[in-house]
Amino acid sequence: MANVDIAEPETGLSHPLTPLTAAELEDVVRIVSTDDRFDDDTIFHTVTLKEPPKEDVIAWRSERPLAREAFCVLMVQARTWEAVVSLDTGAIRWLEEKPGVQPAILLEEFVNCEQAVKADPQWRAALHERGIEDVDRAIVDPWSAGCYGDERWPDRRLARAYTWLRGSDADVGYGRPVDGVHAIVDLERMEVLRVEDYGEVPLPPLTGYYTPDSVGPVRPDLKPLEIVQPEGPSFSVEGNRVDWQGWAFRVGFTPREGLVLHQISYRDKGRERPVLYRAALSEMVVPYGDPGPVHNRKNAFDVGEYGVGRLANSLTLGCDCLGTIQYFDVDQVTAAGEVMRMPRVICLHEEDAGTLWKHTDWRSEHCEVRRSRRLVISFFATVGNYDYGFYWNFYQDGSMDTEIKLTGCLSVGALPPGEQPQYGTLVSEQLYAPIHQHFFNFRLDPMIDGRANTVYEQDTVAEAPDPSVNPHLNAYYPVSRAIRNEREAARDADPLRARTWQITNPSVTNAMGQPVSYKLVPGETVQPFAHDNAPLMQRAAFIGKPFWVTAHDEREQFAAGDYINQHPGGDGLPAYQAHERDLEDTDVVVWYTVGHHHIPRPEDWPVMPVLKAGFALRPVGFFDGNPAMDVPPPGSKQSCEAGCSGS
């Protein structure tokens, strides 16, 4: 479980979406530990707030409490259980065994797996055969084993462990892969089941230095850049609620998803208008395109197989965040049932975002310009070699966007001297990075001025060359089509047609009589290059289409299903849509997958400069006009040329 470290509770009872406090987490662990059905060897895989039903939260008033409960995933003697613990009654309210599934790999298992591999005589012998005597310099990362239909131990809890040789703490650790050596590890018993050896590849020269002292002289001509807000920030935080420039939302965090935003709304003309009920990262997968034995099973589902919330960073002022910062701490329960505080995991701050709007009257030379400011809430997670930042940005014009920042160290392979890779790029001497893709699926629970919404797919089309209608052959117009049923609700992107998806409330209209809407504008997207019958596509069917719509069901939270670790597939979005539910004028959920196609470059080594991908949500008729007309002129004379308003 994870918990945002919040300020004093709001007046009245705490909001039902307030994350569990450290004391509540301790109570959950105590309740489970004293239950006769569990013992001292129980592994606390997940402990998090069980969110009350959507309709109950919407109807909630501060004088009426809702049940305070925790959702738990527990492992006992290789068996997986789900439990709901009532904090009101101090007992387990519901318990069910989940046979045949594997929860995500825990951080504690990462550590213990490395120790088990480094103690294994088969693995040590494989390194000695390569002339590596000091095996203590090796590092071992467990990767999820996946599911390919050829597993020798399908009922075991498995990881596939890869090895690198590290020179010192000054290198990234991944610059000298011991290629061809894999250890298959039983994570429950911490036993190496088999060491696979595909033959020796010479170790590349060590080139992965990344600390300031190791890379050589740093640039001497970079002057200080100070970001100050002498009067403090424009946002306010009360409990886990944030208010800023008309926007309001609640902050949550889970071990699996990381940052969760609840009840996103915009205050317009004195009325708080709902936009999204819930928004979070649902799943990730990073498929590699190299068919060789070292990389062909690298298809990491970083949400379902690891949990990005568990792997979140503690952020540092001046490094990860600049300006006046509001941090949120996170509490999580370890595998042993101890409550652990992770400080400064979530960062909230304001940024200058360039020009908001501007017009110059060329006749009078009068200029009006407004600076755009955005509110940013974010967190970073490190999943082995890669680092991912997840940013939700809110703007004064009622729009918002989601931005993913990809950085960290490439997963690389070794090559003999003089050899060139077909399925990757040489990034350093004898070192290559395989081509791969990153897919990020976001689950968005819209509530555009209410729960009864309809999603339209909108394309722009050219008018037919009819002399009576289009005499100069220049006409084009938008065409919208309602997505009426789940049978038709898995959609392709089409940037050549300027395709967007409009989430509309047909029962609420603006001043022009148009139904209020928000549209999802795709950012970077790409098709998967794995074949349709590949094991990857059976497990990650959600990447086959970038946009999906389903009827709202609180049991359907994850694009690849509840338990993707070692799962053969078939769960998740295809299973949800198999219900063939109607989608018009009802409570819907939209799922969007950001796809980043990564052909590595030498410039990506040893640590990759940040690459960005994402999508936007923009109001379409939600307001009667530009909601940012009331933003005041810039307060600083340096922000505007002479003649502009505010100078």
Return the active site residues: 302, 386
| Interatomic CA distance for residues 313 and 27, integer angstroms | 26
Report in angstroms the alpha-carbon separations of 412 from 4, 55, 127, 350: 36, 48, 18, 37
Residue 514: which of 557, 471, 478 has the closest Cα? 478
Helix, strand or coil for residue 571?
coil
Query: 10 Å Cβ neighbour count for 12?
Result: 11
User: What is the Cα 69 distance to its own chain's centre?
Assistant: 25
Taking a C-beta distance cutoff of 8 angstroms, is the pair 142, 114 a contact?
yes
Cβ contacts of 123 within 8 Å, gap of 6 or more: 117, 163, 181, 183, 192, 195
| Interatomic CA distance for residues 422 and 494, integer angstroms | 30
Helix, strand or coil for residue 346?
strand
| Interatomic CA distance for residues 519 and 616, integer angstroms | 8
**Across the beta sheet with 2-4, what order do the strands follow?**
2-4, 326-333, 339-361, 366-383, 386-395, 400-408, 608-620, 515-522, 500-509, 454-462, 476-482
Helices (H), strands (E): how many in the chain? 6, 32
Q: Where are the beta strands (DSSP E) in 211-325?
A: 236-238, 241-244, 247-254, 258-268, 271-287, 299-300
Residue 372: which of 634, 616, 84 has the closest Cα? 634
Cis peptide before 121 (omega within 30 of 0): no
Helix, strand or coil for residue 261?
strand
Burial of 385 (0-12, 13-18, 19+ CB in 10 A): middle
Residues in the chain: 647
Taking a C-beta distance cutoff of 8 angstroms, is the pair 491, 592 a contact?
no
Helix, strand or coil for residue 382?
strand
Pairing mode of beta strands 69-76, 43-49: antiparallel
Burial of 525 (0-12, 13-18, 19+ CB in 10 A): buried
**Across the beta sheet with 431-434, what order do the strands follow?**
413-414, 431-434, 424-428
Helix, strand or coil for residue 137?
helix
| Interatomic CA distance for residues 157 and 190, integer angstroms | 10
Torsion of CA 352, 356, 362, 366, to 10 degrees: -70
Report in angstroms the alpha-carbon separations of 575 from 22, 559, 586: 36, 10, 20
Residue 138: which of 162, 115, 165, 110 has the closest Cα? 165
Token pair recorded at residue 173: 């650790």
Buried b (16+ CB within 10 A) or exposed e, 578-611: eeebebeeebbbbbbbbbbbbebeeebbbbbeee
